[in-house]
Amino acid sequence: MRLESDIELLMRVDLFQGFQPEQLRLVAFGAERERVHKDEVLYRDGEEADGGYVVVRGQIDLMVYRGRREIILDTCLEASLLGELALVTANRRISNAVASVESEVLHIPRRLFHRMLNEYPETAALMYRRLSQSVSRTMEQVARVHGKLAEIPRLEIPADAHPELEGFTIPKSGEDAG
């Protein structure tokens, strides 16, 4: 039965460790399965996030684009949770999520997650601790990516090489772009 397999999957997700089976049943019952084809975008950087996704099968890459360069931040396999912060609060996606192979995900809307927390308030403290740890890990990842971006050499182009760019400037690090 699909409901039982979804509950078993949720039990393997770090954020849901220690949840009672009836709590996971509520989440699994209300979650929506979605197929994501190879190279299909699950969500885009900057989009409003309405919940999280658990990878049921396949692989979803979290990536950002800097200029023409694609940077993979993380590769998410079965039982990985994407967008966990969106389960508890409104925010915007900070990366693109793209299927690198045929995949399937379980979409957990924020309203469903809030309903579960309201019905099982003892879980809220556990969630707070886990999300705090997760945010700390994410900030460490962002710092590493920022460091890698800072290592990319700046391209110097002589002004007379491209007259069509006359007057165009790129702000130096620390200057206001606006």
Please write the tens of the pLDDT for every residue from 63-72: 998 888 899 9
pLDDT of 147 strictly over 60: yes
Q: In degrees rounded to 5, what are phi and psi of residue 75?
A: -115, 120
Torsion of CA 9, 11, 12, 14, to 10 degrees: 130
pLDDT given for residue 47 in this prediction: 97
Residue 79 in 3-state DSSP?
Answer: coil
Q: Token pair of 6, please?
A: 């979804």
Does the model's pTM come out above 0.85? no
The per-residue pLDDT for range 70-110, each reduced to its tens digit, is 999 999 999 999 999 899 899 999 999 999 999 999 999 99
Beta-carbon contacts of 109 under 8 Å, excluding residues fewer than 6 positions away, are 30, 31, 32, 50, 51
Contacts of 156 (CB under 8 A, 6+ apart): none
Angstrom distances, CA of residue 3 to CA of 32, 62, 108: 11, 27, 14
pLDDT digits (tens, 9 = 90+) for 46-62: 999 999 999 999 999 99
41-43 sheet: strands from edge to edge:
41-43, 96-99, 60-66, 69-76
What domains are there in the chain, each with its CATH number?
2-152 (2.60.120.10)
